Structures are given as structure tokens and as C-alpha cells.
Amino acid sequence: MTIDPPNPIRRITTSPLFWPLLGLVLLLIFNAIFTPSFFNLEIRDGHLYGSMVDVLNRGSIGIIIAIGMTLVIATGGVDLSVGSIMAISGAVAALMLTESNVSLWGVIPCALLAATIAGLLNGLLVAVVGIQPVVATLILMVCGRGIARFLTGEKVIALVDDHFSAAFDYLGNGHFLGMPFPVTIFVLLVLATLVVVRKTVLGLFIESVGSNEVASRAVGIQARTIKIGVYAFCGFCAGIAGLIDASNINAADTVNAGVFTELDAIFAVVVGGTALTGGRFTLVGSVVGALLLQTLLTTLYTFGFASDTAPVPKAIVIVGVCLLQSDAFRQKFRRRSAA
Amino acid sequence: MNRISERHVMLAVTAVVLMVLFFGASMRFDGFSSPFVIADLFNETAFLGITAVGMTLVIISGGIDLSVGSVIGFTTIFVATMISDNGMNPVLVWAAALALGTGFGCMMGALIQVFKLPAFLVTLGGLFFARGMAFSIKKESVQIDHPLYDAVGDIALPIGGGASLSFPAILFLILIAIVVVIAHRTRFGRNLYAIGGSEDSSLLMGLPVTSTKIGVYTFNGFCSALAGIAMTIYMDSGNPINAVALELDAIAVVVIGGTLLSGGTGLVAGTLLGILIYATIYQITYFANLPASLATISIGTLLLIFILAQQSLRRLR
């Protein structure tokens, strides 16, 4: 067997970041040609406005959930309950803001704690009880929205008039350094997660558990604890997303909050180059994947696509990308091109 | 503990849960055990039952199908629009809807089996695709006003005491009878259990794994479309947002009915009991004037308890 000489082009195309970035660049070029106004930026009251800023702002919820989902998928699992956890976190925050005198500094930790506990339960079911991840998180997906609806008394809790909280509103609608505040939140979260998983041995442990759990346990990695941890972290991320979502509309709408976010997050992770089978993961890839999804949606909307029908192209892209990644498909394709 | 007795243990547990719920509610609420309520248990959940029957076979084969709710929603708006706006004959529209649902299921099954993609991912894609297509047909509810629908709506099977089963409920009971025979008396059914038990062994034994697995998703697509048609008969309308998240209820009902989510074990008859438990819980919240979200929470909790019980049964073995 000969070793290929280091080929710079080959090294770039085999990087996991290559394909999602290429997709994103192609979409941006498409926009540059057909809707040049896409790149317009203007500064009003010291705040940046424009389609690109919109993409970052609207994409922030997807990015935040994709970060948690990346780690879960890296361990070979999946979390279908993120949408329901978003609804729970929004409901807890809205309830505490309307029914109690607790300040925002007490409300946010409580909402995030509720979300983390929900994620922890997922982790316990997967790692300790040994239920398949799809099934374990399905339970909370069913129950979680029911719990959120029960908490809010099956109503939409609006944070207006007396209950309006300027500080809570800032989470989703405020601006920091000219950019929408959710952008600051996701940038900080991405950086913090990157440092924790890449500068410590944790990331390696997660990849090891995802590639071979038995072998990881044999070399002394606490596979169970790692798994519980990533589900709890995924719940925590969903909790942050739930707070931003509730703050965006200044209400806790438990029926619509976070509906379908699980597919968006799985989409971002898979398109970003992390395989659903677990093992190697790339956080930056997932961020690019989420941005690609949001750019795709924004582009579709500018061309008059209704938001109701947007799931159709989304579904086609995600199944298409998975097909391209699947060995069975590649083999068939290779055989044909060889013949 | 062998396989046969295990699945009968789960069935017995389900039956006990149903009896406790039903007789408990009968003692607590006046008129709960009336024929009207019993007929309602079937009439109100017939479409869920129809799709749960198909889901049972998918889960026995070791797979999962998350797209059923969206396929039902798509079918209702498709049928309603074709009949009301395009003036087509309902029988033709039904046939077209069944063909679309069956073809869609077949396509997902092929993606799952031929390209070895995870079932939850492909069917989650199917969920989005079908829901988006439903909205692309029409964004709001469409009424169905057709003599055939009136005639079908008048069909009723008296069960005594003045109460009667509606046409969708009759359809559900007929379907379950057919599928019991398919699952336990045909080669296809036996292959399903074998594949759910161990796909690799089935392959080595020379069983037609590919065609059976594609077949089961195809059949589930048919069941979802049939459930959508039953829903239009039940509501006399179609709406693209119908049956959102119904797949979760369908899976819950199947598991509560004693089918193992890891595949290979389960009884179609158990799904009938699962449906009755589901319907009884909703009737109880209605009788006790409790919020509907409590019913969702109870079903989720029951799902959790059953999965935990299955898990410990497997450890015992």
C-alpha cells in the first residue's frame, strides 16, 4: 500500500468543513446574483440591519440547539425532545415573571435548571436504563409539551403591560455591540463549548464513546457519565433557545414553541459533517450547517416561498445529504462510474 | 422465559391496566360504562387505531415510522380539496389518496433498506415533506359536502342501548382482523417477527429481508392514507394541520399494547387494547373536567412505565 503524497487540494476537499462551506458559499453567490439587496447592511441607532444580520439572528436558536445536538450525536445518540424542552423553559420563565416577584437573575437559572433536568432524564434513560436514544427522547417529546401546556394552564402567557420585562425582552430583541443579542449568546456558547471539548480531553472521550462504547469503558472512560452529561448539556442548550424564543415574541406559546426544531438541529449537524453513527464530530461544521439552513430558508422566503411549505425543500436536502454520506449509496455510485 | 410467554405477559399487563382504568372510572363517574361511552372509545379514535395497526407491524420489524401524522394530514386536505374544489368522485379520490400514501411509504422503505439510512431520519424527513406538501395544496380547512359522505356518515352498526359504531370504527375493526391474520398466519408476518428479532440471522436464513422491510413501510403508508380518509369521514372536512404529532400517540399506543420497541415481539391484538386505554384516559379527563394536557402527560408516563417494564423483562430473560 502506498501512502498518498500530501496533496493540498485533496486535503481541503476531505476536510469535514469543505462541503457545508461550499454549500453556504454557493447559496451566497446565488443571492449575490439574484437578490443583491441580500448583502445590504445599514446602521440605524447604532444597530446593524440587513438580511445577513437577519440570518444570524434567526439562525441563533438553531445554532444553539445544534451545539448540544452535535455532542449527543457524537456519542451515537439523538435527542428528539429539544422542541419540547424549549417549550418547558419558556413556560417556566414566563410563569415566574408573571406569578412571582423573582428577578430575572433568578428566573433564568430556574428555567435553565428545568431544561437541564429534562435533558438529564433523557441521559439517565439512555445511559442507565439502556433504552435506544430515539425511544428514550421520544417519551419527553410526547410528555414535555404536555407538561409545558399544563404549567401554563393551556394558555399563551403574554409578557405585556404589567408583566413586560425590559431585561427579558433584551434576551431576544436587544442589541449588543450593534448586533442582535442572540448572536452574542450563540457566539459565547460556541466559544465556551469549543474550549471545553477541544482544550480538555472531554471531546476525545465523547468521540471515543461514540465510536466504541465497550472499548472506551475498557480503557477506563466513564462512558455512562459522558452520555448523561451530553444529554443534560443538550437540554441546557434547548433551555437557552427556549428563553430566546419566548423573549422574541414576549410570550410563552407552548403549542408552537420549538415545533420541528429537532429536525433543524439534526439537519445542521448532519449537513455540517458529523455522522449520525457517532464518533468524530465538528462543532464549527454544525454552526455552518445551521447557517446554511437559515440562509436557504431566507432565500426561499425572498422568492415567495410560504413558510408552511418550507419543510419540503428542507426534507429533500437532509435526506439527500444523508444519501451522499451513506456507504451503500456511494458504493452503488462508484460501481456505476467504474463500469 | 421464552418469546411466546413474554408477549402474552405484556398483553396480560395491558389488559389489566385497561380493566383497572375502565372499571375504576365506571365506579367514579356515573354513566361511564354506558354503551354510548363504549361506542365513543372506538368512534373517536378509529383513525388513530388504523394508523397504529400499521405502526405495530413496522415496530415488530424493528423499525419506526415518524411520518404517519403528516401523511394523514396530507391525505385529509388532498381528499377534501379534490372532492370539494375539483368536484371529483370520492371513490376515485380515495383510491388516488391510498395510492399516494402507499407509494410514499414504499419510497421511504426503499431509502431505509436499500441505502441503509436510519429509519427515524428518513421518516422524519417524510414527516416534513408530507406536512409541507399538505400546506402547498391548501392552507386552510376545506369542508366536504357530498352525497356519498352523507351516506357513509349514516352507516352505523348498533351495539345495543341505542349506541352504534361509526363507519371509521367498523373499518378499524375489519383492518385489525385482517392484520391479525397477516401477522400470525402468513409467511410475510412470520418474516416480520424474524427480522425484528435479528435482521442478520434472517438474512443468513435466506429470508427476503429487503422486500419484507420495504413491504412493511409500504403497508404503513397505506394505513396512514386509510386513516386520513377515515378522518375526513369523521370530520367531514380536511385540514393541512390535522394529526400533527399523531405519530407519537400511535407509537405510544403500540408500546402500551405490549409491542417491544426493539422489535421482534408483539401482538396486533395488543394494539387494540392500547387504543382502548388511550381512549379511556381521554374519556376520563373529559368526564372529570381535567385539562387535556394531563391526558398527554398520563400517556407519556404510561409509555415510560411500559418501556421500563419491557426493559426489566428483557433483563430477566
pLDDT digits (tens, 9 = 90+) for B234-267: 999 999 888 887 888 899 899 888 888 888 888 8
pLDDT at site A223: 86
Whether ipTM > 0.85 holds is: no
**Number of domains making up chain B:** 1
Over the stretch A197-222, which tens digit does the pLDDT of each residue have?
888 888 888 888 888 888 888 888 88
> How far off is chain A from B129, nearest CA to CA, in Å?
4
Residue of A nearest to B304 (CA): A139
Judge whether residue A233 has pLDDT over 90. yes
Judging contacts by C-beta atoms under 8 Å, the chain B residues touching residue A309 are 132-133, 135-136
Judging contacts by C-beta atoms under 8 Å, the chain B residues touching residue A263 are 124-125, 127-128
pLDDT at site A238: 94
Rounded mean pLDDT of A309-320?
82
Rounded mean pLDDT of B110-120?
89
Contacts of B97 (CB under 8 A, 6+ apart): B75, B78, B79, B225, B228, B229
Judge whether residue A339 has pLDDT over 60. no
B308: nearest CB among A129, A145, A318:
A129
Judge whether residue B314 has pLDDT over 60. yes
By mean pLDDT, which of A2-16, A325-339, B70-84, B114-128 is the weakest? A2-16
List the CATH number of the domain containing B260: 1.10.3470
Residues A100 and A94: their CA atoms lie apart, in Å, by: 10
Judge whether residue A3 has pLDDT over 60. no
> How far off is chain B from A259, nearest CA to CA, in Å?
10
pLDDT at site A11: 65
Q: How many residues does chain A have?
A: 339
By mean pLDDT, which of A113-127, A200-214, B176-190 is the weakest? A200-214
> How far off is chain A from B110, nearest CA to CA, in Å?
12
Rounded mean pLDDT of B214-225?
96
Judging contacts by C-beta atoms under 8 Å, the chain B residues touching residue A260 are 128
Contact A143 B132 (CB under 8 A): no
> How far off is chain A from B121, nearest CA to CA, in Å?
8
A312: nearest CB among B133, B262, B294:
B133
Contact A312 B116 (CB under 8 A): no
B133-137 long-range Cβ contacts below 8 angstroms, 24+ apart: B133/A309, B133/A312, B133/B74, B134/B70, B134/B73, B134/B74, B134/B77, B134/B78, B134/B240, B135/A306, B135/A308, B135/A309, B135/B240, B136/A306, B136/A308, B136/A309, B136/A312, B137/B74, B137/B77, B137/B78, B137/B81, B137/B240
Judging contacts by C-beta atoms under 8 Å, the chain B residues touching residue A139 are 300, 303-304, 307
Residues A145 and A213: their CA atoms lie apart, in Å, by: 32
Please compute Rg for chain A using Cα positions: 21
pLDDT at site A273: 83
* Residue B160: exposure state from Cβ atoms within 10 A (0-12, 13-18, ≥19): exposed
Contacts of A104 (CB under 8 A, 6+ apart): A97, A165, A167, A168
Contact status of B281 with chain A (Cβ, < 8 Å): no
Contact A328 B126 (CB under 8 A): no
Q: Provide the strand spans (E) within B195-255.
A: 237-238
Residue of A nearest to B246 (CA): A142
Contact B125 A315 (CB under 8 A): yes
Residues A169 and B78: their CA atoms lie apart, in Å, by: 41
Residue of B nearest to A276 (CA): B118
Judging contacts by C-beta atoms under 8 Å, the chain B residues touching residue A328 are 114-116
Judging contacts by C-beta atoms under 8 Å, the chain B residues touching residue A327 are 116
- In terms of phi and psi (left: phi > 0; alpha: psi -120 to 50; beta: otherwise), the region of B47 is alpha
Judge whether residue A36 has pLDDT over 70. yes
CB B18 within 8 A of CB B280: yes
> How far off is chain A from B74, nearest CA to CA, in Å?
12
Domain region containing B61:
3-316
Mutate to test the interface with A, among B70, B124, B261 (most CBs of A within 10 A): B124
pLDDT at site A73: 93
Contact A266 B121 (CB under 8 A): yes
Contact status of B308 with chain A (Cβ, < 8 Å): yes
Residue of A nearest to B293 (CA): A146
Judging contacts by C-beta atoms under 8 Å, the chain A residues touching residue B251 are 138
Over the stretch B142-179, which tens digit does the pLDDT of each residue have?
998 888 888 888 888 888 777 889 999 999 999 999 99
Residue of A nearest to B119 (CA): A134
Over the stretch A152-209, which tens digit does the pLDDT of each residue have?
887 888 777 777 777 778 877 877 887 888 888 999 999 999 999 888 888 888 888 8
Mutate to test the interface with A, among B129, B133, B242, B293 (most CBs of A within 10 A): B293
Contact A139 B300 (CB under 8 A): yes
Residue of A nearest to B312 (CA): A129
Judging contacts by C-beta atoms under 8 Å, the chain B residues touching residue A329 are 115
Contact A149 B299 (CB under 8 A): no
pLDDT greater at residue A7 or residue B163: B163
Contact B261 A147 (CB under 8 A): no
Contact B111 A319 (CB under 8 A): yes
Question: What class is the A46-338 domain?
Answer: mainly alpha
pLDDT at site A9: 66
Alpha-carbon separation of residue A331 from A186, A337, B171, B209, B283 (angstroms): 38, 10, 44, 20, 53
> How far off is chain A from B123, nearest CA to CA, in Å?
10
CB A276 within 8 A of CB A264: no
pLDDT at site A33: 83
Residues B241 and B254: their CA atoms lie apart, in Å, by: 23
Mutate to test the interface with A, among B59, B66, B67, B128 (most CBs of A within 10 A): B128
pLDDT classification of B1: cutoffs 50, 70, 90: very low
Residues B248 and B199: their CA atoms lie apart, in Å, by: 25
pLDDT classification of A5: cutoffs 50, 70, 90: low
pLDDT at site A231: 95
Size of interface A-B (CB pairs under 8 A): 123
Contacts of A71 (CB under 8 A, 6+ apart): A193, A197, A206, A230, A233, A234, A281
Over the stretch A235-285, which tens digit does the pLDDT of each residue have?
999 999 999 999 888 888 877 777 778 888 888 898 888 888 888 888 998
Judging contacts by C-beta atoms under 8 Å, the chain A residues touching residue B245 are 142, 145
Comparing CA positions, the residue from B28, B61, B40 lying closest to residue B261 is: B61
A315: nearest CB among B128, B136, B252:
B128
Contact status of B261 with chain A (Cβ, < 8 Å): yes
Q: What are phi and psi of B156, to 5 degrees?
A: -150, 140
